[in-house]
C-alpha cells in the first residue's frame, strides 16, 4: 500500500534499523522501545492486522514465529521473550500493517494494559 508506513520501511523508502530479512518478512528495531530488546517483525505482504489473517496469508504468521525463535536463539534471549500483536482500536494498534512486537531483555509483568 502506497501510504503505509511499514510498506515504505520494507521498500527502503523510510530508514529503519534492520535486524533480519528474508523473502517473506522484515524485522527492525522499534523506534520507541518499551524493553531493552524491542523488535518489530512484519510480513512483506500488506495485511492490515490480525483480523485479516486467513487461510491464504496465515503462512506469514507461522513464518514470523519461526523467525522470532531464530532471532531469540541467535541473539541469546536465554531468559525468555514475549511476542505481541495489537489489533484494532481497543488494543491500541497504531500502524495498520500486521506486525509482531518481539520483546526481551527484562523481567516482564503481565497486564492487559501494559506490554512489559
Ligand atoms: P502498534 O502500536 O502495536 O501498532 O505498534 C506500532 C509500533 O511501531 C510502535 O511500537 C511504534 O513505536 C513503532 N513505530 C512507529 N514508527 C516507527 C518507525 N518509523 N520505525 C520503527 N518503529 C516505528
Ligand atoms: Zn503495509
Q: Locate cell 514470523: which residue?
A: 64
Per-residue pLDDT tens for 67-100?
999 999 999 999 999 999 999 999 999 999 999 9
C-alpha distance from residue 104 to each of 14, 42, 83, 90 (Å): 25, 17, 9, 24
Q: What's the chain's Rg over C-alpha atoms?
A: 14
Q: Is the CB of 93 under 6 A from ligand 1?
A: yes
For ligand 1, mutation pick of 33, 40, 87 (most atoms within 8 Å of CB): 40
Active site residue 99: yes
% of the chain surpassing 70 pLDDT: 100
Q: Is the CB of 45 under 6 A from ligand 1?
A: no
Q: Cα of 56 to ligand 1 centre, how many Å?
A: 26
Per-residue pLDDT tens for 10-58?
999 999 999 999 999 999 999 999 999 999 999 999 999 999 999 999 9
Amino acid at each position: 500500500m502506497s501510504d503505509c508506513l511499514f510498506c515504505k520501511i520494507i521498500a527502503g523508502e523510510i530508514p529503519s534499523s534492520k535486524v533480519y530479512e528474508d523473502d517473506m518478512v522484515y524485522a527492525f528495531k522499534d523506534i520507541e522501545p518499551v524493553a531493552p530488546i524491542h523488535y518489530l517483525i512484519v510480513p512483506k505482504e500488506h495485511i492490515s492486522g490480525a483480523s485479516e489473517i486467513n487461510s491464504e496469508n496465515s503462512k506469514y504468521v507461522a513464518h514470523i514465529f519461526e523467525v522470532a525463535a531464530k532471532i531469540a536463539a541467535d541473539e541469546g534471549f536465554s531468559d525468555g521473550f514475549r511476542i505481541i500483536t495489537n489489533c484494532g482500536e481497543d488494543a491500541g494498534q497504531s500502524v495498520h500493517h500486521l506486525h509482531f512486537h518481539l520483546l526481551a531483555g527484562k523481567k516482564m509483568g503481565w497486564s492487559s494494559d501494559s506490554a512489559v
